[in-house]
Amino acid sequence: MHDVVIVGSGPAGLMLAGELRLAGVDAVVLERRETQDLAGSRGGGIHARSIELLDQRGIADRFLAEGKLLHAATFGGTMLDLSGLPTRHPYTLALFQNHIERLLLRWVEELGVSIRRGVEVTRIAPDDEGVDVHLASGGSLRARYVVGADGGRSVVRREAGIPFVGPDATRSTLIAEVQVAGELSPTGKVDERGVHGLHPMGDGTVRVVVTEAELGPPTEPTLEELRRGLIEVFGTDFGVHSPTWLSRFTDATRQAASYREGRVLLAGDAAHVHSPTGGLGIGLGLQDAVNLGWKLGQVVRGISGDALLDSYHAERHPAGARALKYTMAQSLFQRADPRQEALRDLIDEVLGRDGAGTVVAALITGLDVAYDLGAGHPLLGRRMPDLDISTPDGPVRVFDLLHRARPLVLQFGGPTLDVGAWTDRVQHVVATYDGAWELPVVGDVGAPTAVLVRPDGHVAWVSEGSAAGLPEALATWCGAARS
Ligand SMILES: Cc1cc2nc3c(=O)[nH]c(=O)nc-3n(C[C@H](O)[C@H](O)[C@H](O)COP(=O)(O)OP(=O)(O)OC[C@H]3O[C@@H](n4cnc5c(N)ncnc54)[C@H](O)[C@@H]3O)c2cc1C
């Protein structure tokens, strides 16, 4: 019996596989694709919090070295300056999904993750002790837990009977990578249908996006349909030919009613789908995976009880719902319509006011995610900033201390903290830091004397001069004390 079977090696599945490996769990990834090569480039990049997650594992530089940094994001018609956000990465990284997957794959391979390719899951059957995973080949595997990271049409979600709820599509868009006859300069247009464009990708391939006149069927389109769409919008089909990828996406927005059903969990697009507008898809999956990985690892290794897994839904479902709201609002502006343009212009006026745009910028980048861990210091439930601190071993960045995904008690002052009963699992680092504590949107917050940082980088306990509550927080997030 496997501890964990992950279905799908997209960004969410790969990230989760790496996180489980760091947690000391032997997970197997089942992937129906024979190679990691994607049909089409799909997602176009990741935002600041996702870059931070990679930084927490010491691999952000690999991604930054290959992509392009964009210091602004848009909402409606407003350009939002990201450069003032209090993060080491105040930008979006433009890097196509095939490269993101390649770099994630390299990381998980270095960690020793095993991916079984050409394996399609057709059915799962959970019971009290485990889950049978049935394959198209006729064989089956058994695992204690199964994670569906198998995309928007998730078989795992369907088999677990988890409802996928939200507004239906109002429009569909053809997307393709093709060759065009002759020269082509970037061409874009927004009309009452939606957004259309042809963008050279630098290697002779052109990425084409054409919104359809009517909602198309949930099947892959043909080159003929793409040509027709282009002629309707631009009056020419630009001589498109030799497609390497032809697909159709919609603005349907759906979220799994539950991210967990017993021994079955969902991550990434399997848990939420939305319009690609705004480019949140890949990052949401990475954030799900980093939230789930250490929890599932601790449960599988018997460090924590099964109830810890409920916090995955409790934290990630609201965070996903908020992101989905943003994509729905953003997609509203993706067509020419005088009423929507009036709303867009009004919003532009408001967001132009001092600091107002920061709220939306923090949402888009994922830097504002705050898990509800109760009342207290503003840091509680939020991401730990990547401070430059001094320790007895020398200067270090906080994120450096998270590379191995171990919980961290970071002590800046106050009474000496006793983490002795957790030292097998928890790092205790005494440090000094004299700079500001600035959180996105919240602003400057009072310096704590100590914090408990979970492996996902979120703060689970804050001290302002007392050790009260630390044993309880350690027991909640790091398992029972060693006797
Ligand atoms: C046409 C299109 C355009 C997009 N454009 C953008 C964009 O511009 N920006 C952006 O951020 N996002 C975009 N996205 C969304 C982005 O691609 C997804 O959010 C992201 O890929 C989700 O990652 P994931 O790992 O959750 O799922 P996926 O990437 O879908 O990975 C799921 C994996 O599971 C495998 N799998 C599925 N079923 C099974 C099975 N039964 N057995 C075994 N393996 C299985 C699949 O082969 C795949 O490898 C786009 C998506 C589409 C479809």
Structural domains in the chain (count): 3
Provide the pLDDT for residue 42.
Answer: 86
| Domain extent for 448 | 388-478
Identify whether residues 281 and 151 lie together within a single domain.
Answer: yes
User: What tens digit of pLDDT does each residue of 385-438 get?
Assistant: 999 999 999 999 999 999 999 999 999 998 999 999 999 999 999 999 999 999
At 216 the pLDDT is 93
Tell me which DSSP letter residue 306 carries. G
Residues 161 and 210 both lie in one domain: no
**Is the CB–ligand 1 distance for residue 10 below 6 Å?**
yes
pLDDT in tens, 447-468: 999 999 999 999 999 999 999 9
Q: Is 380 a domain residue? A: no
Q: Whose CA is nearest to atom 7 of ligand 1?
A: 43
pLDDT value at residue 329: 94
Decide which of 365, 397, 420 is a domain's last residue: 365
Q: What is the CATH number of the domain that holds 194?
A: 3.30.70.2450
Which pLDDT belongs to residue 41? 81
> Which pTM was predicted?
0.96
| pLDDT at position 191 over 80 | yes
Q: Is the CB of 55 under 6 A from ligand 1?
A: no
28 bridge partner residues: 5, 114
**Domain CATH code at residue 70:** 3.50.50.60
pLDDT of amino acid 38: 79
Residues 159 and 290 reside in one and the same domain: yes
pLDDT tier, 201 (very low <50, low <70, confident <90, very high otherwise) = confident
pLDDT value at residue 154: 98
Cβ atoms of 85 and 367 within 8 Å: the answer is yes
User: What is the pLDDT at residue 39?
Assistant: 76
Minimal-distance CA residue to ligand 1 atom 12: 43
**Residues 65 and 137 both lie in one domain:** yes
CB 160 within 8 A of CB 267: no
Q: Looking at the CA of residue 281, tell me the nearest atom of ligand 1.
A: 19
Residue 138, pLDDT > 90, answer yes
Mean pLDDT over the full length of the chain: 95
CA distances from 180 to 22, 238, 339 (A): 46, 6, 36
Q: Give residue-wise pLDDT tens across range 168-177.
A: 999 999 999 9
Alpha helices in 399-480 (DSSP H): 470-478
With a pLDDT cut of 90, the percent of the chain lying above it is 92
Structure tokens at 343: 């709303």
> For the chain, how far is it from start to end, CA to CA, in angstroms?
30
The 10s digit of each residue's pLDDT in 217-259 is: 989 999 999 999 999 999 999 999 999 999 999 999 999 999 9
382 occurs within a structural domain: no
Q: Ligand 1 within 6 A of 150 CB?
A: yes
Question: Does residue 483 sit within a domain?
Answer: no
Is residue 371 assigned to a domain?
no
User: Is there an atom of ligand 1 within 6 Å of 33 CB?
Assistant: yes
> Looking at residue 355, what is its pLDDT?
87
SS3 content of the chain, % helix, strand, coil (to 5): 30, 25, 40
CA of 97 to the centre of ligand 1 (A): 9
Ligand 1 in contact with 151 (CB < 6 A)?
A: yes
For residue 102, count other CB atoms closer than 10 A to its CB: 16
Same domain, 150 and 276: yes
CB contact at 8 A, 384 and 460: no
Is 373 inside a domain boundary?
no
Q: What is the DSSP string of 360-418?
A: HHHHHHTTT-B----SSSTTTTBBPP--EEEETTEEEEGGGGGTT---EEEE-SSSPP-
| 16, 42, 250: residue to mutate for ligand 1 pocket, most atoms within 8 A of CB | 42
113-116: long-range contacts (C-beta < 8 A, 24 or more apart)? Answer: 113/17, 113/18, 113/21, 113/27, 113/29, 114/28, 114/29, 115/9, 115/17, 115/28, 115/29, 115/31, 116/28, 116/29, 116/30, 116/31
Q: Is the CB of 9 under 6 A from ligand 1?
A: yes
470, two tokens = 């630390």
Contact 275/250 with Cβ under 8 angstroms?
Answer: yes
Ligand 1 atom closest to Cα of residue 288: 26
Q: What CATH number is attached to the domain comprising 469? A: 3.40.30.120
177 in contact with ligand 1, CB cutoff 6 A: no
Give Cβ neighbours of residue 158 (< 8 Å, ≥ 6 apart): none
- In angstroms, the Cα distances linking 238 to 94, 128, 193, 198, 349 are 26, 58, 20, 10, 38
Ligand 1 centre distance from Cα of residue 465 (Å):
46
**232, part of any domain:** yes
Of 296, 330, 365, which residue sits at a domain end?
Answer: 365
User: pLDDT band for position 482 (50/70/90)?
Assistant: confident
Distance 151 CA to ligand 1 centre (A): 5
Residue partners of 219: CB distance under 8 A and separation at least 6: 248
- How many A from CA of 152 to the centre of ligand 1? 7
Residue 186: its pLDDT value, please? 64
Same domain, 143 and 267: yes
Q: Best of 140, 269, 327 to mutate for ligand 1, by most ligand atoms within 8 A of CB?
A: 269
* Each residue's pLDDT tens digit, 263-281: 999 999 999 999 998 899 9
Domain co-membership, 359 together with 297 = yes
Are 143 and 188 found together in one domain? Answer: no
Instruction: Give the type of residue at 251.
Output: D
Q: For residue 163, what pLDDT band results from cuts at 50, 70 and 90?
A: very high
Which residue, by CA, sits nearest to atom 1 of ligand 1?
249
Please indicate, yes or no, whether residues 84 and 198 belong to a single structural domain of this protein: no
Mutate to test the pocket of ligand 1, among 150, 172, 173, 266 (most ligand atoms within 8 A of CB): 150
**Is residue 185 over pLDDT 80?**
no
85 and 160, same domain (yes or no): yes
